[in-house]
Structure 1
Amino acid sequence: MLYGSLEVLDRTIKHLHTLHYADPDDWSDPIPSGKDNQWMAVLIKHLLIE
């Protein structure tokens, strides 16, 4: 889960992608946190366990 401005969320998601941590499509759309200029995004990963 990430918290911050839309710019910070975008920059962090792109940075994590360059590190092969998560694809940008694995993140939720930004959700307002209730505070001024503060948003959150949730990483959603699906794992296949056999």
Structure 2
Amino acid sequence: MPHAVGLADIGSMPPGASLPALRTQVSGEVVWHTDRNHQVRIRLSEWIDHN
């Protein structure tokens, strides 16, 4: 979907971590999506190992 919106799941953000800088390339796992408005919630790979 060309205009999909990816949202970082900040609930999995470890204490003391900071959000990635603008335009930083990130990777992660889609943990939720909705077809209605083409949004996906992504758990960032760099945060997965800290939980």
TM > 0.5 between the two?
Answer: no
Greater helix share, structure number:
1
TM-score by length of 1: 0.29
Greater strand share, structure number:
2
Higher RCO, Cα 8 Å, sep 6+: 2
